[in-house]
Amino acid sequence: MPNPSFDVISAVGIGSSASIPLHETNVPSQSLLAQNMISQRDFSSYTQHPQSRVGYSIPPWNLSYPSSSRDLASEALINMPGPVNAEDGEPNTEVPQDVRTDDALVDSRPSSCGLVDQNTPALKRKLEELSNREADMDELEAWCRKAKRIKGEYWSMVQAYREGRSLAPQQIKRVDDFSKEVEDILGHCSFRKGSTTHAAGCRKSSPLVTTELVGQKSEETIEKICAYLMKDEIFIIGIYGMRGIGKTAILMHVHNRILENHAFSDVFWMTVPRKFSVYELQDEIANAIGLENLSKDKDVKRRACALNRHMKEKRAVLILDDLWMHFEIEDVGIPIEKGGLKLVLTTQSLDVCHKMLCQKYIKIDSLDGWDSCSLFEQRLRFGGELPSEIEEIVQSIVNRCGGLPLGIIEIATRMRGIREVHEWKGMLQKLEYLKVELDVFKRLKLGYMNLGDSQLQRCFLHLIFCFKLQEFRPNNTKLIETFIDEGLLGGMGTRQELHDQGYSVLDKLRNGCVWDDIDKEYLVPSTLMRGMALHIMKSTTHMVKAYMGLKEIPEEEFWAYHLEKVFLQGNYIKEIPYSISPNCPQLTRLSLNDNVSLEAIHESFFKHLKGLKVLDLSNTAITKLPDSITHLESLEALLLQECEKLYFIPSVRKLGSLKKLDLNGCAMLDEVPEGMEMLVKLTYLDLVHTMVKTLPEGVLRNLVNLQYLASQLLRVGEEGKLKRVERLYCAAPNVEVLNEWVRFLEQNNSQCYQLKLNVSTYDPFRHPSERSIIIKSCHSIAARVDGEISRDGHALLPKNVEVLKVGQCGGLTSLCKVGPLENLEELEIKEWDKLEGLGAINFPHLRELKIIRCSKLKHLFEEMQGLPCLQRFEIQDSEELEGINIAAPSLEDIVVNKCPKMKRVVEWEWLATHLPNLKLIKIRDCEKLEEIIGGPVPSGATCLLTEFIINGCNNVRVLLRHDMLLHLPLLQKITVEQCKGVEVIIGHVPNMTHSSVPNLTDLSLYDLPELKSICDGTVSCVSIQHIGIFKCPKLKRISLRLPQLDNGLPTLPRSLKKILMDQQTWDSLDWDPTFSHSSVRLSQVVQ
């Protein structure tokens, strides 16, 4: 008869060594919550949908039994250790009489039975092992039967709780009994493949000395690693993150927890040597595992075989700390296989994890602000509370550490015992202006060196010096453009090829974890990273005084002859006077951007800067450029973005090397500089948000190398020789010009563009990373057919358009006439007076649809029209629309605003069948709305809805019903505001007075003059965190079902953090007298 198997959720090594894993089987297992059996008030966290349980994503350490006695026996034959004498631990050679084999009889058999002769000794040993474990197996079956009984009782209690039935006091008491019984089971059931008391006793490793970690996240990471180690199918685990982030500290805790768990015979720790070689690594591993004879053999392959043989016998864990390059485990001799050795490594690089074939990899992130402060105070050991003035300085210091534990610890250690405020201010100032020497810089430099590739290192340093802390978060496109300006990507190739190279560089920096703040879109280098970069750079070639509060430009003695790059951005320099004329012929970059007070640069300044290639004056108050700039014949990038007061640029005729001219945001500039037609090498020109309406005639024809062009208006025919334009951002004065440019884009296969028609010249352009068409008004639109130039006044659309916004399109009654747009992702239609229905459209990748003020729209799509990728649908001011009939399996959000005829948003049948992933319904100002979801609820239907928001819908009386809650198990937030007719939030249905919203966390009720009750009957809300009630004068009771104490009295849920309400509502509520014992807890949450 099969024995039951079960899992025990256990925080490995947290104050308990009771979790002793047993051999896993293929029998499906159920969860028995045994480490800390839950009381009634905690049931919610275990009965919620798995995805909604915050902090419970860590897989449990598995505890399971063999599926049958036969399976147990076969495992015993293969895996049981030899019997041991209790007195001295030596092997017991005595064999019970009933299983002894007559060796003499076997030896006297004829030689033809050689096969039997060969196999009998092995069988004899296994029978001896089995005999010595028979009693254990009988006992094991008894414990299995006991475990099955506990599981049955436990799940009966859980089911009763889910159905809203009260538990008897004796049942609640049984929870404590369960805990004791399960602990008893765990104490007896220590049998698992390769895991015995004897094996544990032979361990060579000792616990490591660890430091206390801060934050729940660290504990969760330890749990996750331990859980992965217990999975048979996972052999290699990678832990990665920037240097100093805490990888080693976390893994030391993992090391000690493995020692506490008998699933493994041992755990070996070794730090990978910096001078990496297979031979050196073999020596280090041999020392760690106690293989003393390996050093005598100098042949790498024989050494690998010896290591493999030695480690193959062990079910152990090998930890390699600080691995900075990958290797082939076979070359070293590490045996990785199911049921044997497991490998855990730490590294700075995600790429190393990939190349080491890690099946699971975990990134260690920087600490958040709260945990950073906790770590600082923990290591400071101030002895009492910090004075408020020092505490504010500590916060600033910690912020500049960027959540890096190594830096936080070093600075906190330095500041121990210091109580004078001026000393703390001094440390903050030193950090701010990078005038402090820290050991952490050396550690961070190793991360920089590990990048290896010189291009990556140059790009890394460039980003560090160009961008500041939290003040500005440039996106990837801007970062890549700075690489191009600096020539770090080679300078040759199309714009798209250069951007591809740039993304590759950012990915490598991100995966290399040289700092923790490069994310998918933004980067923010910390003060410590900038300090490390300064230690790398030579002071003779770089002047870095960015963001240091300078009010004057450095004197000439700071401008060394061999200077190559100067970074002075982000200061308060007001003027560069005549007296400053630096002689720096090798200077290639000068950054003066973000000096918002800089108004004037005098003629002499550029006189001896003949080698200057990049000049950045963006976001300054400069009004005109000096004439001496015309002599910068090596200049390749002139960056004047957001110079709002700039009105004059001298002739650029001599700037023949210029490749980039960025004038975006120069609002006072009404004409381009003289000599633009001579800039034949120009690849980038941005005139958006200037007063320059169009370029002088003939200029564009000479700019044959343009790759990026952003201009307010373009004429017909100006596209003539612009064969290399890949990114185009401009406005067309009429449909004919728009159609010409659309044809041009498709001929050039342009990947990024934004074209506007009949749009105000000064409307802001969206970020140039997508293909978009914005039309304020037109008669009609249509997807362009190959070879088509125009069609009866239609605005033609590129086939690869991704974003389309069209207003006042008076010639279309249905979208089906537009034609197929297979790449379209976002569509907004506004004020289409004749639009009656969307029709059968062909937009297979549409993700967002927004419809505004289409007064005649009566229906959305033809029956069952599918939009497989649609995630958000929003409709506003549709006077005729009565409901939503979209078949969109990916739709998550529905937003409805001012649809006066709509009585319900969607039918239950349609919701369950065609909108399976809908999460949010938001409704505002729908006068006739009676209910959000209408019609009968289909049997067995379950929706993923998590949030309802309803505002200004005065005809609604009841928001939801008790029977609906059974089909909304993931509902988390309910917001009802300014609905004059709402009387109850959750209404009753016959024969149903109790229901549960197990995941509801937020309930917000505002300005509901007729609200009498939150629910008819009672509703259990065991996860509630925030309740807000304002201007609800008729509300008398908060009729939410509360958890109960052992004495049967109600208590506030442990999850509840805050109740917000106005004084009038507070005074009008009738509190249950039995609730008075919780008045202290109540006062803590009510505001």
The pLDDT tens digits of the residues spanning 822-843 come to: 899 999 999 998 888 887 788 8
Q: Does the domain at residues 369-432 carry the CATH identifier 1.10.8?
A: yes
The region of weakest confidence among 157-166, 600-609, 719-728 is: 157-166
pLDDT tens, residue by residue, 83-108? 333 334 333 333 333 333 333 333 33
3-state secondary structure 1051-1066: CCCCCCCEEEECHHHH
Contact 229, 344 (CB under 8 A): yes
Helix, strand, or coil here: 942? coil
Average pLDDT along the chain? 79
Task: Give the pLDDT of residue 788.
Answer: 59
| 70 or 1001, higher pLDDT | 1001
Question: Which band of pLDDT confidence, cut at 50, 70 and 90, is reported for residue 359?
Answer: very high
Task: Give the pLDDT of residue 312.
Answer: 85
* Helical axes 369-380 vs 388-399, angle rounded to 10°: 120
Share of the chain above pLDDT 90, in %: 37
Cα first-last separation, the chain: 60
Contact 23, 168 (CB under 8 A): no
Tokens of 914: 């065609």
* Measured distance CA(291)–CA(296) in Å, rounded: 11
Tokens of 391: 């505490």
* Measured distance CA(665)–CA(644) in Å, rounded: 6
**H/E segment holding residue 1041:** strand 1040-1041
* Measured distance CA(581)–CA(187) in Å, rounded: 82
* Measured distance CA(543)–CA(880) in Å, rounded: 67
Residue type, 849: L
Contact 518, 509 (CB under 8 A): yes
Instruction: Calculate mean pLDDT across residues 756-783.
Output: 76
If you classify domain 203-363 with CATH, what class do you get? alpha beta
Contact 222, 253 (CB under 8 A): yes
* Measured distance CA(692)–CA(683) in Å, rounded: 19
The region of weakest confidence among 767-781, 918-932, 1006-1020 is: 767-781
Indicate the length of the chain as a whole number.
1087
Question: Which band of pLDDT confidence, cut at 50, 70 and 90, is reported for residue 784?
Answer: confident
pLDDT tens, residue by residue, 167-203? 666 666 666 666 666 656 655 443 333 333 334 444 5
Tokens of 310: 């030695």
3-state secondary structure 255-309: HHHHHHCCCCCEEEEEECCCCCCHHHHHHHHHHHHCCHHHHHCCCHHHHHHHHHH
pLDDT tens, residue by residue, 868-889? 899 999 999 998 888 888 888 9
Instruction: Calculate mean pLDDT across residues 998-1012.
Output: 93
* Measured distance CA(360)–CA(971) in Å, rounded: 32
Task: Give the pLDDT of residue 300.
Answer: 92
Contact 691, 669 (CB under 8 A): yes
pLDDT exceeds 80 at position 38:
no
Task: Give the pLDDT of residue 1078.
Answer: 47
| 574 or 400, higher pLDDT | 574
Q: What are phi and psi of 848, to 5 degrees?
A: -140, 130
What's the pTM?
Answer: 0.69
Instruction: Calculate mean pLDDT across residues 900-926.
Output: 92
- The residue extents of the domains of the chain are 6-197, 203-363, 369-432, 452-537, 973-1085
pLDDT exceeds 70 at position 577:
yes
Share of the chain above pLDDT 70, in %: 75
pLDDT tens, residue by residue, 1014-1027? 888 777 888 888 99
* Measured distance CA(703)–CA(696) in Å, rounded: 12
Fold: same for 203-363 and 452-537: no
Task: Give the pLDDT of residue 14.
Answer: 31
Q: CA angle, 69 as apex, 64 and 72 as ends, to 5°? A: 60
The fold adopted by the segment(s) 452-537 is Arc Repressor Mutant, subunit A (1.10.10)
Task: Give the pLDDT of residue 125.
Answer: 47
- Give the residue from 665, 601, 606 showing the smallest Cα distance to 635: 606
* Measured distance CA(836)–CA(814) in Å, rounded: 7
